[in-house]
Chain A
Amino acid sequence: MLKGMQIEARQSYAFMARNFNLVKRYWGWEVVWLAYSIANALSVTFIGAGAGEITGQDNINTDFLITYLLIGTLVWHFLSGTFNVISEMIAWERWEGTIEYTLMAPVRRYNQIFGQAAFAVVYILLFTATIGLVVSSFFDLDLSEADLLGALVILLAGSLSFVGIGVVASILPLLYPERGAQMTNIVQAVFLLVSGVYYPVSVLPDWLQTISKLSPATYVLAGMRAALLPGTSDQSLWSYVAPLLLMGVVMLPLGIHLFQRAERYTKRTGKLKRNG
């Protein structure tokens, strides 16, 4: 049994090591992407800094607004990054032409997804932390009363459900070799719209507010703001973590189940061999 677990751990590690090797080999692209992400995060947070001048009002708490927007941009970077790495796990293999080789190997899908998810969480967390440190250095932010540990717990709980949603989205490149990868962008766009990344969900029309309740990002963002901006919420952190864990417990097995069904379908119809 121990031997079997060791083999399964090696299989998951294979995906982690491969992805870190890819990051190492594409380091130029990673530097460009980091610079773009920092510029993007700064652009959003400077809106907070300029709020007084934009509206002509002096009594706006710009520090609060900057932190509010910074949390939004960093959390969104982390969640969308995790989602991308998971949802593109099949798309990468199609681009490289390795999909048949990987799916022919004696690897259970949950080991593959575990390896891919572990890489995504570790790598994107480091990436996001770097952006956060650089952007924070531009502003004089006071996080002395922030609950950093609570924020980390919420972020990790949120990543669980985003991994599950990413697995479901990764079915698209499996089923649609030519356009599947682009289709996953629609899923991401809906989350960006309804989850309150840069604004409170309460400003959305009622029907969009209803949809926002189904998005794990809504709870992550609200929970992170409650943890890092004390006094903005009277709810306990658990009230944000509980729905996230529930969504994760449902989405992850559901994602793996749907993925396995899609894999069987592609093997029946011969869709594996075409490169997108």
Chain B
Amino acid sequence: MVNEGNREPQYKRVTKELQISPDEPALVVSHVYKRFNVASDPWWRRLLPARGAQNGAPEPENVNGNGKSLKARRGKELVTAVNDVSFTVQRREIFGVLGPNGSGKSTLIRLLSTLLVPDEGEIKVFGLDVVKDEMMVKRLINRVSVEAAFFKKLSPQENLLYGARLYGLAGKEADRKARVILKRLGLKESSYSAPMEDMSRGMQQKVAIARAFLTQPILLLLDEPTTGLDPRSKLEVQAVINELRDDHDATILITTHDMNEADALCDRIAIIDDGKIVALDTPENLKKSIRRNGHEPTLEEVFMTLTGKELIEKDDIEGYQPEKILAD
């Protein structure tokens, strides 16, 4: 399913001291865990009978990958955001990660982009470890997050030149490239030097996408990049993502809540729920896996089925019997 194209891979040599084998997978995530200490109930509430433990069932125990018990910090609760996640992304693949809110998608992206350190497991980007070879990995990646993070008083030009210089690009070169990318994304020339705060959320998101494209990452991490964009803008962004892969040999990992977008863009999709990968395959195979009685399922139905969150039908509401559920 990976679109290999006819050309020789162009990124054997990324910088003078950084050599990358074309046979190396773009991304290898193996048995990664990430846990956080989050605020729990105050001490007096913990003295009260535990809610949701009516049958005397013990609280779920936190254990690491070797089965060793883990303790939360005092007054905190240990939450496992990413739980034994493993997958491989081949170069020039567009790999989707789908999951409900709070399922661990953004934590996973932060782990890949060196903003978080995994508690266990290993993440390799073109054979480089994200912890040990952090600086080299940073040169290969860029990320677009759901929040368009900018200096709001500055213009797209000032923000983009700042971002490009951080990646070592010269101002003039970055300015020329930025104008081309923004034009391609449908941003008006007049908006280029106006403050970001005067722009709509969708336009800001386009500038965020341009900022990432500007540095020509060979692994691009897109965390819900089209959230807040109108349908035309979504299509423009999707076209640029494909172009980045086809023309610039980039590998793309994308999280999205837009199932049509995932279906149209992704070569393979991982569905994540409660920090765990519950399915990983091509969109076609995922749909096949839940096909019943000749009904052709959509990716949305696959998502609902595999994350255990079926669509609520009218019949469900009419037949809702809380007493029966409690008795069960």
Contact = CB atoms under 8 A, between A and B. Distances in A.
Interface of A: 3-4, 6-7, 10-11, 13-14, 17-18, 21-22, 25-26, 96-98, 100-108, 264, 267-270, 272-273
A6 B170 CA distance: 9
Interface stretch (B114-122, B263-271, B285-293): B114-122
Interface stretch (B52-60, B156-164, B276-284, B296-304): B156-164
Given A11-B166, A14-B165, A106 B150 contact: no
Interface of B: 16, 34, 36-37, 107, 110, 113-117, 135-136, 138-139, 141-143, 145, 147, 149-154, 158, 161-163, 165-171, 195
B166 A22 contact: no
A269 B110 CA distance: 12
B122 to A, nearest CB: 16
Contacts of A14: 161-162, 165-166
Contacts, number: 93
Given A11-B168, A96-B151, A269-B36, A18 B162 contact: yes
A270 B168 contact: no
Contacts of A10: 165, 168-170
Nearest to A101: B149
Contacts of A108: 135
Contact of A17 (B34, B147, B149, B165): B165
A197 to B, nearest CB: 32
A3 B16 contact: yes
A264 B117 contact: yes
Contacts of B116: 267-268, 270, 272
A25 B154 contact: yes
A197 B145 CA distance: 46
B154 A272 contact: no
Contacts of B115: 100, 103-104, 267, 272-273
Contacts of A98: 149-151
A102 B139 CA distance: 13
A267 to B, nearest CB: 5
A42 B166 CA distance: 41
A199 B34 CA distance: 54
B138 A106 contact: yes
Which of B34, B141, B162 has most chain A Cβ within 10 Å? B162
B150 A96 contact: yes
Among B107, B110, B195, find the residue whose CB has the most chain A CB atoms closer than 10 A: B110
Contacts of A13: 165
